[in-house]
Chains A and B, each alone.
Chain A
Amino acid sequence: MTPAERLAVAERPERRFALALAAPAVAVLAITTTFPLVYLLWQSLQNINLAMPGMDRFAGAENYVRMWEDRRFWGALGFTVVYTGVTVALQLVIGLGMALLILQIPRAQWAFRIVAIIPIVLAPVVAGLFWRTLMLAPDFGILDFAFRSLGFGAHNWLGDPRLARVSVIAIHTWQWTPFVFLYLLAALAALPADLYEAARIDRASAWRRFVHITLPLIRPAIVIVVILRITVALSAFAAIYAATGGGPGTATEIINLYAYRVSFAELSLGYGASAAVVLLVLTMAVAALLFHLRRAG
């Protein structure tokens, strides 16, 4: 027997066992994700109106053409990019800053850990509702009250298009920065202590030490957490839905919400499907790019 044949025979029982163990998972995933995705693609080529079922027909690429010319779509795409970019950047900067800060106060760490867990485990829909009602609601919200008391005047946080966008970004950032904080805190804490001793002794160049030693060492962790946060931001839904529903008008519509509204509020499922397909492609493309960058680095 050739070596290859030998190994094949000897390893056969192990291979079979491995397949038996993994098959259910793969099968379930195929049935629950891949098959519906194929169906989604098919739907995106249809014209489906839930209000008028008899009018369903095959539409080919019509939906995509329509989307290409739809300003609302491009608005949603643009805001998706802005939303994702801004919130992830903020999460990273604030989260990293907090982690560095808390490292300097070891005694406070336990308090921060507990406090940080709570926003993360809240359901996003609850976070959105809390902010919409308890924080920002005019004549009720505490944050609104604080702003007015400090002399910044009354603002229509969720009713003014620009402020609404700021608000939803703020909500998402509020909820997820603690995740980045905890994650990077763990990464920083794993670095050898001497590095910080050295940094502290040589205070004159503390900043340079940070840039040249700490940052490169936690780079892998930063990359991973950024990847995680980007994928979550791209598929954010519940918090925005709860806070603004995508409004006012279409101001806070990210593609996710755009597809939802088109499908379930306007009942045009085929068109909604095509928007979902675009988001799918976008997510895959971004993920592929990030993985590539990660390997290159």
Chain B
Amino acid sequence: MRRPAGTGALRTAILMGTAAVLLAVWTVPVLWAVLTSVKNEKEVLAYPPTIAFDATIKNFREVLTGPTNIVPNLTSSLIIAVATTILTIVIAVPAAYAFARLKLPGRKPLGFYVLATQLVPPIGLIIPYFLIMNRIGWMDSYRGLVLIYLTFSLPFAIWLLVSYFEDIPREMEEAALLDRASRWQAFWHVVLPQARGAIGVTVVFVFLNAWNEFLFAVILGGATVKPVTVSMYNYINTEQTQWAQLAAAALMAMLPVIVLGIAAQKHIVAGLSAGAVKGVTRR
């Protein structure tokens, strides 16, 4: 049965049109932010909003070198994210291996416990943390914040890594054991090198989530611990919003994670799909 000529073209047109609309929906907000960030004050407040104008990098300069620049915030975020990532990997990788591959006593209940900790809503943690951190003097401290960050990064990392470890053929470890390797040596020399990709994906996710976190940071942070997510509010006050600078600051703050996201996008999707498909079974 032949299709009448022209339907193919119409179909393609509809498809492409819809695709274009969808692309617009998700790019316009960010593009508009980029546009706004290169406007000067006059252009910014112009209404109707303008698209053609003389671009300026003044706002970025202001945001990076001005009196209320966000460089200390970027540094703060970096410290938090790196510390959280390192700690998480060091703790989660061996644990995930134990869950995935070894005869861990109480494996099922423990696995279930790890899974359950992921279901705790952040607000349920920040309230006691606020009181406890106050009491022990850990408010506005990096160790306090990294500690609470572990509550979401550890279980997630374990969950993600377990499914990767399960994919490594058992026989390789057995061969290593027969080759007189101790269990630790088998883990270190044979299993771990194969998990490099998995660990990479985990690092990306943990870093991302730590960088973008807001609630914990806004409550437990202060003069010392002031990540970029909180610093946005420097540019908003009750009288007036400094639109252009806000846009510039937000873009600067998000630049690292956007770059990371685009560079690792294949791995991010693969990680989510693989991890989720297998990991969420009776752990």
Partner of B268, one of A105, A117, A130, A277: A117
Partner of A37, one of B103, B114, B120, B228: B120
Residues of B within 8 A of A18 (CB): 98, 102-105
- A228-252 interface code vs B (CB 8 A; 1 in, 0 out): 1001001101100110000000000
Alpha-carbon distance A170/B57, docked complex (angstroms)? 31
CB distance from A31 to the nearest CB of B (A): 8
Whether the Cβ atoms of B215 and A238 lie closer than 8 Å is: yes
Residues of A within 8 A of B158 (CB): 25
Asked whether any CB of chain A lies closer than 8 Å to the CB of B151, the reply is: yes
Residues of B within 8 A of A22 (CB): 94-95, 98-99, 104, 110
Alpha-carbon distance A140/B247, docked complex (angstroms)? 13
Asked whether any CB of chain A lies closer than 8 Å to the CB of B30, the reply is: yes
Alpha-carbon distance A286/B203, docked complex (angstroms)? 29
Whether the Cβ atoms of A174 and B19 lie closer than 8 Å is: no
Asked whether any CB of chain A lies closer than 8 Å to the CB of B53, the reply is: no
- A19-40 interface code vs B (CB 8 A; 1 in, 0 out): 1011011101100111011011
CB distance from A167 to the nearest CB of B (A): 13
Residues of A within 8 A of B181 (CB): none
Asked whether any CB of chain A lies closer than 8 Å to the CB of B253, the reply is: yes
Whether the Cβ atoms of A123 and B123 lie closer than 8 Å is: no
Alpha-carbon distance A163/B218, docked complex (angstroms)? 27
Partner of A43, one of B48, B131, B273: B131
Residues of A within 8 A of B95 (CB): 21-22, 24-26
* Max count, chain B CB within 10 A of own CB: residue among A24, A25, A142, A276: A25
Asked whether any CB of chain B lies closer than 8 Å to the CB of A199, the reply is: no
Interface size grouping (class) on chain B: 35 or more
A-side interface residues, number (CB < 8 Å): 95
- A77-120 interface code vs B (CB 8 A; 1 in, 0 out): 00000000000000000000010011011001001111111111
Cβ < 8 Å to A, chain B residues 225-283: 228-229, 232, 236, 241, 243, 246-247, 250, 253-254, 257-258, 260-262, 265-266, 268-270, 272-273, 276-277, 280
> What is the interface of chain B mostly: helix, strand, loop, or mixed?
helix
Segment of B20-28, B59-67, B193-201 in the binding face: B20-28
Whether the Cβ atoms of A283 and B268 lie closer than 8 Å is: no
Whether the Cβ atoms of B155 and A29 lie closer than 8 Å is: yes
Known: A122-B257, A183-B273, A185-B269. 8 other contacts (CB 8 A): A98-B22, A123-B214, A133-B241, A134-B32, A139-B47, A140-B243, A225-B276, A280-B121
Q: Identify 30 residue pairs between A and B in the complex whose beta-carbon atoms are under 8 Å apart, listed by A's number.
A: A14-B103, A15-B105, A25-B114, A29-B113, A29-B117, A34-B117, A39-B128, A40-B124, A98-B22, A112-B19, A112-B23, A117-B268, A118-B26, A118-B27, A121-B212, A122-B257, A123-B211, A125-B212, A129-B250, A130-B30, A134-B29, A134-B36, A140-B47, A145-B47, A183-B272, A220-B277, A256-B122, A269-B131, A276-B127, A283-B121
The 10 closest A-B pairs by CB, nearest first: A25-B95, A123-B212, A121-B261, A18-B102, A21-B94, A238-B214, A18-B104, A36-B128, A21-B98, A39-B128
